[in-house]
Structure 1
Amino acid sequence: MRISTVTMFEQSTASMNRQQSDLMRVSQQIASGRRVVNPSDDPQAASRAIGVDQAKAVTEQFSDSRVSARNSLSQTESIINSVSDAITSAKGLLIQASSDTLTDENRESISSELKGVYETLLGQSNSTDGNGRYLFGGYKDNTPPFVKSADGSVEYRGDTNTREQRVDSTRLIPVADNGVTIFQSVPSGAGYVAEAKKEDGTLNQGNVTFRGPQTLDVNDADYGSDYRVSFDGTAADPTYQVQRFDNETDTWVDNDTDGAALSSGNWTDDISEEGALSLEFGGLSISLEGTPAPNDEILVAKSGGDVRGADLFRTMEEAIRVLENPADNATKKADQRNTLNTAMRDLDNSLDNVLTVRASAGARLNELDVIDSVSSNRMLNYEQTLSDLVDLDYTEAISEYSLRQVGMQAAQKAFVDIKGLSLFNYM
């Protein structure tokens, strides 16, 4: 077989190019620290590495989301802690104001302090995050959730939704509770509260005061229903009647759920020697003292229920009202005592509710720490998988680099020798 000089030159050039290409490939691997520099180096490993990189990027994005969620929850917990301190302060002021040794001027001074606590609570309820969004307005986070109306009462103008944020592929976590949950709710285990006020909101004209209500039997068939003690007759000869609120008909009825008539009678005839009337109904008991006026009412309702919803601001407003007005007659003194007793029970329920919400926020913060820990382990696994797929074994690479250098030098030396083989050298 005849091999031409051109063929020898072409094969030698191809051999050197191949050796140089292999040497450059190993050189790039050593310079980059990666075994797979181009997808063609290992198509299967390159494809798997892309999937791992994408999963790693998603995990990092969730990590950034958890930072944002943690900031919101930390701020929420801090504000709720301040709210609980304010409620505790308000309860202390009401206990102080309940003392019979205080004068009207003393109570007016306490009222001024209570107004400061009230304004503090209102400011905390309209707190914003670092981006100017209101924390407790639900999805309506662009306007203050709690606003004073024309009559001076506070209205909630947010919604009842809870803003949530996805912090992991399978976890959507609430990052801010709405205002209803914090300021207008009570815990599920909250009991009964009595209130001396008519259904239309006007004050009683008599001077009946109450003690209680006390729970006697939570297993009573009618426990959980709402009740009222209404007064009728004349001022000289008043009568009383206990009624139950029927949720099906949305009216007050005179019997329990089994059809038995509830308590009723003549106030003067049924009052005890101690000057009090003790009533028992629906697993509850309440003691009444004083003299009622016709159409007066004492509401005994489940706290936070449909008949008497919870409202921290309304409680504060009522307490401020009776403290800043002098109690210069028996009716006003009864109103003051009843209102303060009701307010203190409401504050106890509100404090329990706020502490429950705070505990929930703390639990969510702890959950974020757990998710962070799991995410860190996941990131380590991703890093190890990527290293196994594309990272370079330097010992092996340097050995191959040396081998490719020898191959390159051999190809060059062979080319030099071959190109010198010519008959003209012997002529």
Structure 2
Amino acid sequence: MRISTNQIFNMSLNNLNSAMTRMAEASMRNSAQKRVLVPSDDPAAMGGIINCRSFELETEQFIKNIKTASSWLSLADGVLQQTSTDIGRIKTLAEQAATGTLTAEQRRSIGENLRGILGNLLNKANTEFGGKSIFAGHKLDENAYEQTLHATTTDPNLPGDSVVAVKGASETSIDIRFTSGGTVGTDAITYKYSSDGGKTWKNGTLAPGSNKLDLGPASLELKTGTAVTEHTDTGGTRLIVRPALEYKGDDNDDLNVIKYGTTQVDTKADGHFNSDVLVRIDKDGDVSSPPVTYSYSLDNGNTWVHSNVSADNRIEVPGGSLTLSPGAGTTVSKGDQFVIRPNTADLRLDISQSQSIRVNNVGKDLFGGIYTKPGATNPTPSPDDKNSNLFETLGRLIGFVETNDKKGIGECVAELKKVHEHVEMKAAEIGARMNRAASAEKLAEIRKDNNTALISRLEDADLGELLSELNQSKLIYEAVARSSRMISEMSFLSFM
């Protein structure tokens, strides 16, 4: 069979290209020090490499989250440590003010020092990390606290919700004493007030139909219907307007229920929910004569769990329950819906595939103060436990010191010891979260190193083998090139 010159040329060219490609691939592997560069090199190994790369990116993000969480928590821990030191100073000043030999002027001087500490604590409570407030719950772009005025009463018979609002401003505490008794909003009631610790007094009258006490630069509104009595040395109604810090963030306290439909039943939710839970009535009914047929959804209505029947008017859902009770009406109709919506102030960062860590804090749970709860119209101490409310204890202490009330000062001294324990406990909780973050970071680093080692085993090449392959491919290329050149030079005259 005759072999044409064209066939010889094509075969030589193909062999040359194949040898050149092999040498180029060997050169690339040698340059990258990798055994697997493309899926065709080792499909099984490449699948493992892709999974490892994905795990590596995920782990790096977890490590970034952990470092961010550690920074937030470390800053909060530092603030609480400084706050603990400030409480020590407050206790010292309070004990000095409680000394019976001090004059009213000396106590006012101590009051100025306490106001300075209150201002420093306000700055600490409004601490930011990267422009985000760390003590305001989810309200990261707002200050956690604002300074305002609030009132303390020394009358044990005056209900706690008697003070509706305190407005205006005052650089000193205002001592208010009623000089006649009566019912707010009905009777004409007289009172006197002092802004200089009792040196001088001004008189005022609360007219019938009014609930607002004029205190010069400030005013105090009492709840209509409140009964007050004349203040004497043995008792009566007395109020002290003094500084307070109001929490402006959000909380984790309450569960809100939103109704959709025509039903007028009353609702109450109980339990712990991390997100909204939707409840839908599937059959007309009456909460006075259960059962109630319903469905619920945990993903904002995308999917529903059907055919649930309550034994009574208490509807059970994952995380807790929704209780329906007679209100303006008792009936529920098919299609009526209720949304259980928790107050979620927590900001969490994922630190692993199955774990997250809370990095922010609800300021009122740490420092206290006054707070207007969702749905409420006026602020109240929160928490209402005096032994857990640093800012309110300090505010009342300033009021007692500036009005020369030794008994009130003594009460605050006792409270400060408990408050100090509360702050230390909260600091310990943050410390525990810091330790958890540190442990998670160590584990993530170990996983990252193990993953890197696995990738190396899958794709890295032996240097000796690479050099041998490269030299071999060069020899083959040179041999093919030499052979092709010799063949191309052959002609009929070569055989003559």
TM-score, scaled to structure 1: 0.65
Aligned to 2:426: 357
Aligned residue for 1:36? 36
Helix, strand or coil at the partner of 2:350: strand
Structure 1's 420 and 324: CA in aligned 2 closer, same or farther, altered over 3 A? closer
- Where structure 2 has 5 or more consecutive residues not aligned to the other structure, the ranges are 149-166, 168-240, 252-344, 370-380
Q: Provide the aligned length of Structure 1 versus Structure 2.
A: 300
- The one-letter amino acid paired with 2:440 is I
Distance (whole Å) between structure 2 residues aligned to residue 347 and residue 170 of structure 1: 40
Structure 2 partner of 1:65: 65
- Give the residue type in structure 1 aligned to 2:4: S
Deviations 1:251-286 (A, max 9, x none): xxxxxxxxxxxxxxxxxxxxxxxxxxxxxxxxxxxx
Asked if 2 retains the 8 angstrom alpha-carbon contact of 1:183 and 1:350, the reply is no
Structure 1 residue 379 corresponds to structure 2 residue 448: yes
- Map of 2:390 onto structure 1: 312
* Deviation by residue 1:194-213 (Cα, 9 ceiling, x = unmatched): xxxxxxxxxxxxxxxxxxxx
Please give the alpha-carbon distance, in whole angstroms, between the structure 1 residues aligned to 2:65 and 2:57. Answer: 12
Query: How far off its partner does 1:175 sit?
Result: 1.1
CA shift at 1:396, angstroms?
A: 0.2
Aligned in 2, Cα 1:408/1:106: closer, same or farther, shift over 3 Å?
same
TM alignment of 1:16-415, pairs within 5 A: 16-131=16-131, 133-149=132-148, 150=167, 152-160=243-251, 161-184=345-368, 310-326=388-404, 336-337=406-407, 339-415=408-484
Identity in percent: 27
Aligned counterpart, 2:10 = 10
C-alpha displacement at 1:69, in angstroms?
A: 1.2
Tell me which amino acid in the other structure corresponds to 1:417: M
Query: Residues 16 and 92 (structure 1 numbering): CA distance in 2 closer, same or farther, change over 3 Å?
Result: same
Instruction: Output the CA distance in 2 between the equivalents of 1:412 and 1:134.
Output: 72
C-alpha deviation, 1:38, in angstroms: 2.3
Partners of 2:108 and 2:402 within 8 A in 1 = yes
In structure 2, the partner of 1:294 is none
Alpha-carbon distance between aligned partners in 2 of 1:4 and 1:368, rounded to the nearest angstrom = 76
1:100 partner letter: G
Deviation by residue 1:202-244 (Cα, 9 ceiling, x = unmatched): xxxxxxxxxxxxxxxxxxxxxxxxxxxxxxxxxxxxxxxxxxx
Q: Distance in 2 between matches of 1:122 and 1:401?
A: 71
In proportion to residue count, which structure has more helix? 1
Once the two structures are TM-superposed, the CA of residue 385 in structure 1 deviates from its matched residue by: 1.3
**TM-score, normalization: structure 2?**
0.57
CA distance in 1, matches of 2:6, 2:495: 20
Give the Cα separation in 1 of the matches to 2:69 and 2:491.
81
Aligned-partner Cα distance in 2 for 1:365–1:310: 23
Kept in 1, the 8 Å contact 2:368–2:392? The answer is no
Identify which of structures 1 and 2 has the higher relative contact order when contacts are C-alpha pairs closer than 8 Å and 6+ apart: 1
CA distance in 2, matches of 1:336, 1:419: 116
Measure the CA separation in 1 of the matches of 2:70 and 2:472. Answer: 55
CA contact (8 A) 2:364 2:382 kept: no
- Contact kept in structure 2, 1:184 and 1:309, CA below 8 Å: no
CA shift in 2, pair 1:378/1:310, >3 Å? closer
Query: Helix, strand or coil for the counterpart of 1:76?
Result: helix
In 2, distance between residues paired with 1:310 and 1:49?
Answer: 54
Whose Rg is larger?
Answer: 1
- Counterpart CA distance in 2 for 1:306 and 1:178 is 15
- Measured after TM superposition, the shift of residue 307 of structure 1 is 7.5
Q: Whose strand fraction is larger, Structure 1's or Structure 2's?
A: 2
SS across alignment from 2:35: coil
Mean alpha-carbon deviation: is it higher for 417-426 or for 51-60? Answer: 417-426
Q: Distance in 1 between matches of 2:384 and 2:127?
A: 28
Q: Per the alignment, do residues 145 and 412 of structure 1 end up closer, same or farther by CA in structure 2, a change over 3 Å counting? A: closer
Q: Shift of the alpha carbon at 1:397?
A: 0.9
3-state SS of the aligned residue for 1:83?
Answer: helix
Change (3 A) 1:65 1:307: closer
Q: Distance in 2 between matches of 1:307 and 1:416?
A: 98
Cα distance in 1, alignment partners of residues 20 and 29 from structure 2:
14
Q: Alpha carbons of 1:404 and 1:91: their partners in 2 closer, same or farther (altered >3 Å)?
A: same
Structure 1 unaligned regions, length at least 5: 186-302, 327-334
Q: Aligned-residue CA RMSD in angstroms?
A: 2.3
Residue identity opposite 1:388 in structure 2? R
